[in-house]
Amino acid sequence: MALPTPEPGLVVNYGFVWAGDGRPTPPDTGKDRPCLIVDVLDSAGPPGRTERQVTYLPISHTSPRTDERAHLIPPRVAEHLGLTAERSYLYTSYACEDDWPMDLSKIPGTDRFDYGFVPPAFFAAVVRDFAEELRRRPGLPHPRS
């Protein structure tokens, strides 16, 4: 299957590297996990090429610590995306920027790279919290390189 077009609201399988306050320096590679695309920025690259940067927010089964911010993904949204029945959290206190389509991988057992889109109202709530986190912590998101 071809790569999807990166768009805000799309959940993809991405090798997310956790980094930030209280976390050790990340390794070169991350763990493949569902991640929400919250921003896509195109810029001029080498002559005749456009480079695309994508900002990802991770999804995890691990409950957030007291100093972390995350949205519990509603069961209907998790089911729509094809996530496991286990509770999932979409973190807004961690983010990563990377070149598209670096570190994307197929969803295990499928030929797809994406899970689909989150509903607009849920996406809007996540973006509001992420924007607040960006104001509070100017060094977020961390670059993947």
What average pLDDT does range 39-49 have in this prediction? 88
Which residue bears the tokens 């607009």? Answer: 120
Structural domain boundaries in the chain = 10-143
Give me the DSSP letters along 56-112.
Answer: EEEEESSPPPTT--EEEPPHHHHHHHT--SS--EEESS--EEEETTTTB-PPTTSS-
The whole-number pLDDT of residue 70 equals: 97
Mean pLDDT, to the nearest integer, of 47-68? 92
pLDDT tens digit sequence for 6-15: 999 999 999 9
